Amino acid sequence: MAAVLEAPQFLSANQLLLTTLIVKLAVMAVLATMLARFRRFRHILIFERRGWADRLVFALAIGVPLMAGVTARLLLNYRAADLTLEGAFLGGLIAGPYAGAIVGLLVGTPALLAGEIIALPFAVGCGFAGGGLREACPKEAIWQFTPFVFVDLRKHVWHIIRRLEPNWQLVLLAAPVALELLRQALGLRFGGRLFYLGDPSPWMTALVVLATVLAVATPIKIWNSARIEHRLQEQETLLLAAKIEALKSQINPHFLFNTLASISSLIRSEPETARTLIIKLSGLLRRLIRSHQHFVTLREEIESIDEYLDIEVVRFGSKLGVRKDIAPDTLDVIVPSMILQPLVENSIKHGLARKLGPGSIVIRSWRDHGRTVIEIEDDGMGFLVERLEEPMSTGIGLANVRERLHVIYGATYQLTLRSEPGKGTCAHIEIPELMAAEQITA
């Protein structure tokens, strides 16, 4: 039995036009999404006042891909790639009339060379139309223009009736509608001298106009989302910096009050020692006041600890010994500023101050598989196992250190205490490794 060959199925004219409109919207959405991923382009979107360089970059970023689309339409008959009206109008609406005119010049040139003599003046005119509308309406009204403007159409009309003032969302909607209808009229009047997607059916013409509006509104929606995301990240960064600063500010008074208490106790019995303490304390405070950084190198943090220990050595004399075992390759590792001083202070206050006879503190550091490990160990009185967590939850020093590490590093840090009564305590910190050459932002 002979096989029956089925005739190939082709799209009708209306189906082809509808498919073209859908692909056209997809092309514009993909282009807008790709551009929003570039940092320079996002920077241009964020700031409303743009220099000539930024406007030119914006115009080229939109115009060059759309010029390639017009060329693809001319050479390959790929009609969905032609976004002349939408691109030029959008360029003017976002970056001003001259940027819109440049986009219009870019997208209109290939069509002009192909004999579509109305294409270039029409495209440049669309750019100026978008730019003129930008100059007239509030900038935030532009960013509020979305593909869902039709959903709130009744609300916008009621706004005009109730307040008797222009509604910029309707103006922004009317502009691409008017330009598309103008293109349809010019295309019908002058034949092949201007490309347009036309159809005798009024319903299909309405869909063409709708697609034009959506092709303008969709990139604005995508870019506005990128702007909002950037602002949220910026606010989150500022909030994090403020929280770190607040936690850091708790440490300095804590240390200051303890040192002043020590000086107070020495003023009558050992006035010279008290005077030395005051001089060293003033030097340390000057250093702290000059420093507004949230992060420093471990080298700088150790220098700060040395100044603090100078004060404690004056207080305790030969009773206090200090040893440092710092791996040279950790000196340029970035650490939060004033993160070790509370740990050293805790060792002295809770470990060595209560001990009869001399005591010592060991500060050591090393790198281990992409992490920086720092330990502060003393041979003081130590804690009972069941009381190890008390210093972490009570008192400002250790609780503050833990909170700062949590704010900065999230779940990627470790702060643990090991202790044995009568033998001493060790504070163990592990943080992700970051070298001084890398940028730090709070």
| Domain-embedded: residue 394 | yes
Q: What is the pLDDT of residues 160-195, one digit of tens each?
A: 777 767 778 888 889 999 999 999 999 888 878 999
Position 1 in a domain: no
Instruction: Please tell me the least confidently modeled range out of 196-200, 206-210, 286-290, 375-379.
Output: 286-290
Are residues 169 and 55 part of one domain?
yes
Residue in the block written with tokens 């033998």: 423
pTM over 0.75: no
Say if residue 61 is in the same domain as residue 108.
yes
Residues 272 and 226 in one domain: no
Assess if residue 425 is contained within a domain: yes
Confidence at 102, pLDDT banded by 50, 70, 90: very high
Domain of residue 319 covers 267-432
Average pLDDT of the segment spanning 299-305? 85
Please tell me whether residues 133 and 31 are part of one structural domain: yes
**Residue ending a domain, choose from 211, 233, 255:** 233
Dihedral angle over CA of 33, 36, 41, 42, nearest 10: 160
Residue 255 lies in a domain: no
Q: Which amino acid makes up residue 251?
A: I
Structure tokens, 312: 């404690």
Asked if residue 40 belongs to a domain, the reply is: yes
Claim to verify: residue 369 and residue 222 sit in the same structural domain? no
Q: Both 340 and 420 in a single domain?
A: yes
In the chain, % of residues over pLDDT 70: 84
Relative orientation angle of helices 84-95 and 119-136, to the nearest 10 degrees: 30
438: in domain: no
Q: What is the pLDDT of residue 220?
A: 92
Q: Give the integer Cα–Cα distance in Å for 94 and 41.
A: 12
User: Is residue 123 predicted with pLDDT exceeding 50?
Assistant: yes
> What is the count of structural domains for the chain?
2
3-state secondary structure of 9: coil
**Average pLDDT over all residues of the chain:** 81
User: 329-340: per-residue pLDDT in tens?
Assistant: 889 888 887 788
Of 432, 429, 231, 240, nearest in space to 346 by CA: 429
Do 70 and 155 sit in the same domain of this protein? yes
> Cα(152)–Cα(146) distance, rounded to whole angstroms?
10
Residue with tokens 């382009």: 41
Residue entry with tokens 């299909």: 204
Per-residue model confidence as pLDDT tens digits over 258-282 = 678 778 877 888 888 888 888 877 8
Helices and strands in the chain: count of H runs, count of E runs: 15, 7
Q: Check pLDDT > 60 for residue 144.
A: yes
Residues 6+ apart with CB under 8 A from 315: 262, 266, 273, 277
Residue 258 lies in a domain: no
Do 54 and 167 share a domain, yes or no? yes
288 and 148 assigned to the same domain: no
Q: Is the dihedral of CA 257, 262, 265, 266 positive or negative?
A: negative
Q: Are residues 290 and 200 in the same domain?
A: no
Q: Is residue 439 part of a domain?
A: no
CA dihedral sign of residues 22, 28, 34, 36 = negative
| Model confidence at 247: pLDDT above 60 | no
Task: Please list, in sequence order, all residues whose beta carbon lies within 8 angstroms of the beta carbon of residue 146, skipping any fewer than 6 positions away.
Answer: 217, 220, 221, 224
- Residue 2: which pLDDT band, with cuts at 50, 70 and 90? very low
Residues 301 and 373 in one domain: yes
SS (H, E, C) 323-334: EEEECHHHCCEE
**Does residue 189 share a domain with residue 285?**
no
**DSSP conformational letter for 440:** -
Instruction: Give residue 439's pLDDT.
Output: 44
Q: pLDDT value at position 57? A: 92
CATH code, domain carrying 297: 3.30.565.10
